[in-house]
Amino acid sequence: MDQPLMPGDLIEIDRVRFKHWAVCIGNGEVVHLVALTEVDVTNAMTDTEGEVRREHLKDVCGKSFWRVNNDQGLQNKPRTAAQIVQDALSWVDETVTYNLATYNCEHFATQMRYGRAVSQQKVTLQVVDSVKKVGLWAGLMGPLGSAAVSASSLGSAASSP
């Protein structure tokens, strides 16, 4: 995708299950947090080892769609581009605890841009966790109770923040 990039911009990259996030540092390069082992999306609270990398955006994206997404700026004031780039570069090659729910690539990117780690994807993970719990309760109640529990619980789980 040909979209103007400025140092300090947040890049949102489409992936199969979730979005991947990176921070533009200029010259077509980004800094981003990656999990070093496969992440278990069915257990969002599992910690794994992650690493912060500096790479070309085209290598990170491959054929995936990407876009500049600085929408967090509506709620948080961004730091200066120089601060963002300097901090992002200071993390390169660092090993970090990666956790889908508590510290993922979006947390890292927003921490660099705004000085505060935030992830909108965490809401999605909470819904997945709620659905898993509904499935457990439905299984415990048997076939007749499962339909009623699933229908009522899924409605409330999907609307929870």
Cα distance between residue 160 and residue 155, in whole Å: 9
pLDDT for res 154: 35
Q: Which residue intervals of the chain are DSSP H helices?
A: 57-61, 81-91, 105-114, 121-159
Alpha-carbon torsion, ordered 123, 126, 130, 131, to 10 deg: 70
Q: Catalytic residue at 32?
A: yes
Which residues, 6+ apart, have CB-to-CB distance to 28 below 8 Å? Answer: 5, 56, 57, 58
Question: Of 20, 24, 61, 107, which one is the catalytic site residue?
Answer: 20
Q: How confident is the model at residue 146 (pLDDT cuts 50, 70, 90)?
A: very low
pLDDT(65) > 80? yes
- From 24, 61, 105, 107, active-site residue: 105
What is the per-residue pLDDT for 149? 37
Question: Rounded to whole angstroms, how far apart are CA atoms 157 and 73?
Answer: 28
85-128 pLDDT per residue, tens? 999 999 999 999 999 889 999 999 999 999 999 888 755 554 55
Neighbour order of strands in the sheet with 47-56: 66-68, 10-14, 19-26, 29-35, 47-56, 95-99
Query: Is position 20 annotated as part of the catalytic site?
Result: yes
Judge whether 107 counts as a catalytic residue: no
Instruction: Please state, for a pLDDT cut of 90, what percent of the chain lies above it.
Output: 56
Q: What is the pLDDT of residue 78?
A: 93
CA distances from 35 to 96, 97, 104, 118, 150 (A): 9, 9, 8, 17, 33
* Higher-confidence position of 112 and 152: 112
- List the catalytic residue out of 24, 32, 61, 107: 32
Q: Is 68 helix (H, G, I), strand (E, B) or coil?
A: strand
Paired tokens of 71 = 């929408």
